[in-house]
Amino acid sequence: MSVTAAGLEGGGQPAGRAASDRAHAQPLVGPLRWLPVGLGAVFFTVYVAISTARYDRQDTISWDLGIFSQAAQSYAERGYPVVTIKGPDVALLGDHFSPVIALWGPLWAMLPSPVTLLVAQAMLVAFSVVPIARVAIGLLGTRAGSAVGVAYGMSFGLIAAIDFDVHEYAFAAPLLALSGEAYLQRRWRATCLWAGALLLVKEDLGLTVAAIGVALALSNARRWGLGLALVGAAATVITLLVVIPAFSGDGSWDYWQRLGPGADGPPTSVLSSLAALPVSLVSPAIKVWTWVATFGVTGFLALRSPWVLAVLPTMLWRLGSDYEFYWGTGLHYSLVPMPIMFVAMLDAIARSRQGRPTWLRQYAEHTPTIALLVALVLSIQGPLAEVLSPSTYADTARERDVERIQAVLPAGSTVETDIGLLAPLVAEHDVYFIGTNEGAGSVPVDYVAVERSSALRWPMTVQQWARQRHPGERYERLPDIGGYHVLRRID
């Protein structure tokens, strides 16, 4: 498929127009403008199927869905995010600076369920497909542009994030896509405004904003770029050293130690991370695969665009860290790089039309096809391939156990539990996590529900465990419910 030829069919380009006039994306007109929306709607349906089916099976792998459900509930009820799953009376803004999730509060007020957040996340990520597909079609034409939109929608970073409960990074995907679309259309003000909104999503994205500013400065928008870079850098410093500590119980950001070996806080975190960075970025081997997969989704053509600089902050802190969950291509950590990489690829295609060498122009013409093939290969196995399988939607023993536990625990009671039950119990109970509700500040709870597989590893009975955690309190053991031990506090 030739990008040059494809560019004559969907983007409203007359055949005689010079290549330089077709260098950047054109607005879509007529019925064609609904094609990106259609792609977004298709992926929204797929994403909802993946995430809600996982929740229905109670196949939870993290406490994040419980945390964000509790944050949404707190915003809805008191306008302030207190998350007891993280610890008694923990203010979420002292853990991560993500005020944007306040938008989930009204949704929770209308439909108080973790499924509400799963659907909202699916909508956010699917919406990011629209500007990527729209600008791709405007630049490359209908067939090649649609191929890019499909490749982006099924890229491993998006699918992994959808398959991983809920995370605030879902808000970053549409903002990065819209900022990238404006960049490709050389609308500098819009590029900066959409990028600037990332500062409300998570504290690490301030560096992404600064990197976008550098990309703009290298793309003949020096004034806009330098201003955005300064805003992003300043916001990062203020957020990490002032805002988060102001809300945090210990007056610090808890994640300094994850930046690298020996890191324990500023400035030692930054210095130790920089010293260990060259080796830590490629060892162990899983980090090499993450580099290859991230840049390989665009056939490595994205490396020709200044916009690719925006991916570096995320890649550097992830792969420079000694926290192994950051390293791979699973979970939600590859969501932010995906819209950046696809915008950079489109920018590189546009730039290849105006320059040499010839072989690079020819390679760029086929990059949409390469990106689609790579996305297909990486999707042969995994949640995207399982959408059409009946077993994906089958009832599970774990699902039935959760339903029985929900029926036993009185609404409004306080419950201490482990990861699997956090999210399902949030709507009707005050929920605490067994990993954080301990020590001098622990809160005695009405009920304890823990998986039997966890209790088997304890050198004591589950009642002794509960008394040890909550001195002075007595708990009686109720009949086990499937794979769970259930205890009730005795007054």
Instruction: Give the DSSP H or E segment for 484.
Output: strand 484-490
Residue 17 pLDDT exceeds 80: no
Taking the C-alpha atoms of residue 209 and residue 176, their distance in angstroms, rounded to an integer, is 10
Q: Which two structure tokens, joined as six digits, stand for 82?
A: 């207190």
The beta strand positions in 354-473, using DSSP E, are 414-417, 430-433, 447-451
Taking the C-alpha atoms of residue 333 and residue 234, their distance in angstroms, rounded to an integer, is 24
382 SS3 class: coil
Mean pLDDT for the stretch of residues 466-473: 84
pLDDT in tens, 170-224: 999 999 999 999 999 999 999 999 999 999 999 999 999 999 999 999 999 999 9
Residue 440 pLDDT class (50, 70, 90 cuts): low
Q: Among candidates 68, 379, 343, which has minimal Cα distance to 202?
A: 68
Residue 354 pLDDT class (50, 70, 90 cuts): confident
Residues in the chain: 491
Question: Which tops the pLDDT comparison, 9 or 372?
Answer: 372
Taking the C-alpha atoms of residue 271 and residue 253, their distance in angstroms, rounded to an integer, is 16
pLDDT in tens, 284-325: 889 999 999 999 999 999 999 999 999 999 999 898 888 888
Does the pTM surpass 0.75? The reply is: yes
Mean pLDDT for the stretch of residues 76-103: 92
Residue 254 pLDDT class (50, 70, 90 cuts): confident
Taking the C-alpha atoms of residue 436 and residue 335, their distance in angstroms, rounded to an integer, is 28
pLDDT in tens, 219-242: 999 999 999 999 999 999 999 999
Classify strands 447-451 and 484-490 as parallel, antiparallel or unpaired.
Answer: antiparallel
The beta strand positions in 91-160, using DSSP E, are none
Taking the C-alpha atoms of residue 408 and residue 423, their distance in angstroms, rounded to an integer, is 16
Taking the C-alpha atoms of residue 366 and residue 355, their distance in angstroms, rounded to an integer, is 16
CB atoms within 10 A of CB 293: 18
Give 433's strand partners.
Answer: 417
Q: Which two structure tokens, joined as six digits, stand for 64?
A: 């994040």
Residues whose CB falls within 8 Å of the CB of residue 356, separated by 6 or more in sequence, listed in order: none
Q: How high is the mean pLDDT of the chain?
A: 87
Tell me what pLDDT residue 122 has.
Answer: 97
End-to-end Cα spacing for the chain: 73
Q: Where are the domains of the chain?
A: 3-15+25-378, 398-490
Tell me what pLDDT residue 334 has.
Answer: 93
Tell me what pLDDT residue 390 has.
Answer: 87
Tell me what pLDDT residue 50 has.
Answer: 94
Backbone angles phi, psi at 477, to 5 degrees: -90, 125
Mean pLDDT for the stretch of residues 448-466: 80
Residue 156 pLDDT exceeds 90: yes
Tell me what pLDDT residue 104 has.
Answer: 96
The winner for highest mean pLDDT among 19-23, 65-69, 378-382, 396-400 is: 65-69
Residue 16 pLDDT exceeds 50: no
Torsion of CA 35, 38, 39, 43, to 10 degrees: 170
Tell me what pLDDT residue 441 has.
Answer: 74
Residue 12 pLDDT exceeds 90: no
